[in-house]
Amino acid sequence: MTELSQDDLRKLYAETKTIAVVGCSPRSRWPKPSAVVPAYMQAHGYRILPVNPHETEILGEPVVASLAELREPVDIVDVFRPADETPAIAQAAVDLGARYLWLQTGIVSEEARDIAEAGGLAVVMDQCIAITYADLDLGPAVPAWKAAQAEEADSCEVPARGPE
C-alpha cells in the first residue's frame, strides 16, 4: 500500500484521457457530487464514461449499467458507491484493464485496494478526484467552478415577464 505523491498524481492526470465513473449522476441531481465531479472533469478535457444502471445518457455520453459493458480503454475507474460495493468494482476495474482505481471522498475499502493492487492498478481512496485536481493547481477550485456553472445556467433562462 503506497500513497501516490503529488508528482504521481500530476502524472496520473497528465496521462489520463478516459474516466469511467461508477455511480455517475445526471445534471438533474446537481449539486450532488456524483453529478458535479464528472462534469468538472469533463469540462477539463477528460472523456467521461458514465456507469449507472438507471440512466441512458449523462453528460452527452451513453451510459452503461456496469463496467463489464465498456468496450474501450479506461484509464481511471472513479467510484461513487458505498464501500461494501467497491471490492466487486475493483475486480471489474482489473478485468477492464484500467490503470487506476479512485474511491471518492468518504469511501475506503482495504479489500478493494488489495484486489486492485494485486491486479496492477494504483489506488487512491477517500479523496475527490476534482478537488485533488484543483489542489494541484491544474484547474479552478471546485466550488468556484460549480458557482460559475450555476450562474451560466441561470443566465440561459428566459426571464419571467412581470406586469408592464
Domains recognised in the chain with CATH numbers? 1-73+94-104+137-146 (3.40.50.720)
Full DSSP string of 126-160? S--HHHHHHHTTSS--HHHHHHHHHHHHHHTSPPP
Confidence (pLDDT) at 152:
65
Confidence (pLDDT) at 110:
97
Phi, psi angles (nearest 5°) of residue 79: -120, 125
Confidence (pLDDT) at 155:
43
C-alpha cell at 123: 489506488
Q: Per-residue pLDDT tens for 125-161?
A: 999 999 999 999 999 988 888 777 766 655 444 333 3
Alpha carbon 9 to chain centroid distance?
15
Confidence (pLDDT) at 156:
40
Is the pLDDT at 97 greater than 70? The verdict is yes
Q: Angle at the Cα of 122 (from 46 to 124), degrees rounded to 5?
A: 70
Flag whether the pTM goes above 0.75. yes
Confidence (pLDDT) at 153:
56
Could you tell me whether strands 100-103 and 47-51 are parallel, antiparallel, or unpaired per DSSP bridges?
A: unpaired
Full DSSP string of 3-47? PPPHHHHHHHHHH--EEEEET---GGGTTSHHHHHHHHHHHTT-E
What's the rounded Cα separation, in Å, for the pair 117 and 90?
9
Confidence (pLDDT) at 12:
96
Which is higher by pLDDT, 161 or 100? 100
Residue labelled with grid coordinates 464528472: 38
Maximum alpha-carbon separation in the chain: 69
Is the pLDDT at 35 greater than 90? The verdict is yes
Confidence (pLDDT) at 1:
55
Q: What sign results for the dihedral spanned by CA atoms 45, 23, 69, 3?
A: positive
C-alpha cell at 51: 456507469
